[in-house]
């Protein structure tokens, strides 16, 4: 049987970088992203007025490496019952939901700046 990638690195079974065993036999713990706990992060919340007098709630000040912003966005959207998106490492929610967002962030464990 001739393989497409015979003799190339793609033909060699992958090995663990830490112990050198085959990946199927590796007993090492998986490396996950080491994130700063929510208790040690401070979020800032404000309401902005956009064109056509639309209100937007903005959450900023969180490090995108230490915080899972897409997951936090989905939790805040569900809590507020509104749409939203990520814009330049900021969470934007449609509508004026400052008090509700602050309450939800405190419930998750974040510090909220005044």
Query: Is residue 30 a part of any domain in this protein?
Result: no
105 domain-assigned: yes
Query: For the segment 18-53, what is each residue's pLDDT rounded down to a tens digit?
Result: 888 888 888 887 766 677 888 999 999 999 999 999
Confidence (pLDDT) at 55? 96
The count of structural domains within the chain is 1
**Helix or strand holding residue 77 (H, E):** helix 69-80
* Distance of alpha carbon 114 from alpha carbon 73, whole angstroms: 20
Query: Is 5 contained in some domain?
Result: no
> Has residue 6 been placed in a domain?
no
The neighbour count for residue 82, using CB atoms within 10 Å, is 16
pTM: 0.70
Q: What is the extent of the structural domain holding 76?
A: 38-112
Token pair of 62 as six digits: 């969180």
Residue 12 within a domain = no
């Amino acid at each position: 049987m001739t393989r497409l990638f015979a003799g190339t690195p793609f033909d060699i079974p992958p090995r663990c970088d830490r112990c050198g065993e085959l990946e199927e036999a590796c007993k090492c713990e998986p490396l996950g992203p080491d994130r700063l706990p929510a208790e040690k992060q401070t979020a800032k919340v404000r309401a902005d007025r956009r064109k056509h007098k639309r209100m937007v709630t903005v959450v900023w000040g969180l490090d995108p490496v230490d915080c899972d912003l897409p997951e936090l966005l989905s939790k805040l959207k569900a809590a507020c019952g509104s749409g939203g998106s990520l814009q330049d490492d900021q969470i934007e929610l449609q509508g004026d939901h400052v008090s509700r967002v602050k309450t939800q962030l405190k419930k998750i464990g974040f510090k909220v700046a005044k």
